[in-house]
Chain A
Amino acid sequence: GQSLEQPSEVTAVEGAIVQINCTYQTSGFYGLSWYQQHDGGAPTFLSYNALDGLEETGRFSSFLSRSDSYGYLLLQELQMKDSASYFCAVFSPRRWLTGGGNKLTFGTGTQLKVEL
């Protein structure tokens, strides 16, 4: 099976840097995705790490270490609008799944609160 663990809640101040961790247990996967979801909204794609290392997209960066079964999302220059839930998700293509098909398995989610 697959399981991903995240801290349930993180609080930070506006302008700061925050790191949201994701530890996973999976038998095989292609990569790690990150999604943001505001209250009442739909999840939106932020980033994807197919390889180990850091991927940077503006204020957001994501990191993956397969040897440590660990990834994180780094948010810089925090803004109030960044207050949302953040989910990591492993992408498992059909090769590694019985029955075939692609699948995103989501983590438990981290609620980020940005304060003034």
Chain B
Amino acid sequence: KAGVTQTPRYLIKTRGQQVTLSCSPISGHRSVSWYQQTPGQGLQFLFEYFSETQRNKGNFPGRFSGRQFSNSRSEMNVSTLELGDSALYLCASSLAGSSYEQYFGPGTRLTVT
């Protein structure tokens, strides 16, 4: 069974631009969560989607948004990029009801200059 895939793996953007990151979960997993990982803040929860609905959102500004498609693939978007948005963005999928066991993708390393 293929794992969670994320594209692109690396991205360099300029302040003020916007970016879209993509995540394909493990086949059969309908729950997708997104996290931001930085050296100073650790792993911070962004949002969770299930069956195309955002069920929970972390404490991030409205510039961070996401969506999930009918095939469970998910995208997250960050608008008006700031230097502080530089981070590893991780996507994780899980079976419904078993989100304590999440399968992470390799992440997208975003650098904002």
Contacts and interface: CB of A to CB of B under 8 A. Distances in A.
B42 A106 contact: yes
Size category of the A interface is 20 to 34
A17 interface: no
A63 to B, nearest CB: 16
Select the residue from B43, B48, B55, B107 with max chain A CB neighbours within 10 A.
B43
A104 interface: yes
Interface string B38-67: 000011110010100011111000000000
Contacts of B94: 102
Given A33-B101, A43-B104, A45-B101, A99 B56 contact: yes
A87 B43 contact: yes
A60 to B, nearest CB: 14
Contacts of B48: 101-103
Size category of the B interface is 20 to 34
A66 B24 CA distance: 35
Nearest to B59: A1
A38 B57 CA distance: 27
A101 B42 contact: no
A86 B101 CA distance: 15
B42 A48 contact: no
B31 A43 contact: no
Interface of B: 4, 31, 33, 35, 42-45, 48, 50, 54-58, 90, 92, 94, 99-107
24 contacts: A33-B101, A42-B105, A42-B107, A43-B92, A43-B102, A44-B104, A45-B102, A45-B103, A48-B101, A50-B100, A87-B42, A89-B43, A89-B100, A91-B99, A101-B54, A101-B56, A102-B33, A102-B48, A102-B50, A102-B94, A103-B56, A104-B99, A106-B42, A107-B42
Given A102-B33, A104-B100, 10 more contacts: A30-B100, A41-B106, A42-B106, A89-B43, A94-B56, A100-B56, A101-B54, A101-B57, A102-B50, A102-B99
